Chain A
Amino acid sequence: MNDDELDRVFKALGDPTRRRIIDRLRERPNQSLFEICAASHAEDGAGLSRQAITQHLDMLQRAGLVRVEWSGRTRIHSFEPGPMREAFDAWLRSRLQKGKRR
């Protein structure tokens, strides 16, 4: 995983709304934009605009943390943990090891 990819993962995770979207997609995969918005409104009261949620999803998708597939004629979103694991292997893990200074 190169620095650009690492940046995209950490930037995508550096926002509470996007982390909340990941939590919801973990609980229930294969959600359309409409469902993600409906859940957001139900949980957070007024919630975010559809445009705002679309932008958050785009960032998560560019980081590889959200996978988009078609179910019939509807685009559905799921959480993809792979890049998070790669970021852990590429950077976080070595910083957590005791006694190493690199």
Chain B
Amino acid sequence: MRIYISSVFVDDQSKALDFYTRVLGFQVKHDIPMGEHRWLTVVSPENPEGTELLLEPGDHPAVQPYKTALVADGIPATSFQVDNIDAEYARLRALGVAFTREPMDAGPVRMAVLDDSCGNLIQIIEMKAA
């Protein structure tokens, strides 16, 4: 058994596609119409055959309260790894991304939290050299 996909619930798939590709830098893997929504996944250009991220429609009634409660406590919906978090922070800030936590040390990692503009907080981390 392997983990091939993970998902975030997004408020608007078109807006999410723009943010996750143009801003974060992922690339589209699948974009398949499914009724009023799409099966929309992105992958990292550093690992195009790797785990996909599903930009999942958030219209189920349970989704909004779930997302609201996570954001209220500052809890990220998911986490991405970068090689240089301070450089990535500067790059994303220049693109207008809002951060709720600028890079900070947290044990073996350095982390920051950003707003994906689709209703989620996203953590990015850099693994510190051992």
Where the two chains meet, the residues of A that have a C-beta atom closer than 8 Å to any C-beta of B are 31-35, 38-39, 41-43, 50, 71-76
Contact of B73 among A39, A43, A75 (CB under 8 A): A75
Q: Collect the chain B residues with CB atoms within 8 Å of residue A73's CB.
A: 68, 71-72
Question: Interface range on chain B: under 10, 10 to 19, 20 to 34, or 35 or more?
Answer: 10 to 19
Given A72-B100, A73-B68, verify A35-B107 contact (CB < 8 Å): no
Q: Taking beta carbons and an 8 Å cutoff, which residues of B are in contact with A?
A: 68, 71-76, 98, 100-101, 104-107, 111, 113, 115, 121
**Alpha-carbon separation in the docked complex, A72 to B74 (Å):** 11
Q: Which residues of A contact B106 (CB under 8 A)?
A: 38-39, 41-42
Instruction: Evaluate contact between A34 and B72: CB separation under 8 angstroms.
Output: no
Q: List 30 A-B contacts (CB under 8 A).
A: A31-B74, A32-B74, A32-B75, A32-B100, A32-B101, A33-B73, A33-B74, A33-B75, A34-B74, A35-B101, A38-B104, A38-B111, A41-B106, A41-B107, A42-B105, A42-B106, A50-B73, A71-B100, A72-B100, A72-B115, A73-B68, A73-B71, A73-B72, A74-B71, A74-B72, A74-B73, A74-B100, A74-B121, A75-B72, A75-B74
